[in-house]
């Protein structure tokens, strides 16, 4: 995803979750279906997947050191960050926290 498209999506959505991943990453592969389930349940949050190998500038911009990393944005600003595999209840709790910050 080009950085300009990324910026447009985050500007248009008050709540965004960015999944920084790589195709070779085992935990990233395990997280993908969990995120997909959460995305189906939550309609007021935009979900973006960023392959760190394809978009190294975005990964650098966010200081991504480990994957998977989820960055929760409110009005384009980072509010929460998680690193590693997250379970569905944890993700739903983070989304609730994001909306109250």
Q: Report DSSP letters for 33-92, one per residue.
A: HHHHHHHHH-SS-EEEEEETTT-HHHHHHTT--SSSEEEEEETTEEEEEEES---HHHHH
Query: Is residue 25 flagged as an active site residue?
Result: yes
Question: Given 17, 18, 28, 70, which residue is catalytic?
Answer: 28
Query: Is residue 86 flagged as an active site residue?
Result: no
Q: Residue 30 contacts by C-beta under 8 Å, 6 or more apart in sequence?
A: 85
Question: Given 17, 18, 25, 38, which residue is catalytic?
Answer: 25
Catalytic residues: 25, 28
């Amino acid at each position: 995803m080009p950085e300009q498209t990324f910026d447009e999506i985050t500007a248009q959505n008050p709540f965004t979750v960015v999944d920084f991943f790589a195709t070779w990453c085992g935990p990233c592969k395990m997280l993908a279906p969990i995120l997909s389930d959460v995305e189906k349940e939550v309609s007021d949050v935009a979900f973006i997947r960023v392959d760190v190998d394809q978009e190294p500038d975005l990964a650098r911009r966010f200081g991504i050191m480990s994957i998977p990393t989820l960055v929760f944005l409110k009005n384009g600003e980072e509010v929460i960050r998680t690193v590693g595999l997250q379970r569905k209840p944890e993700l739903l709790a983070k989304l609730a926290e994001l909306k109250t910050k």
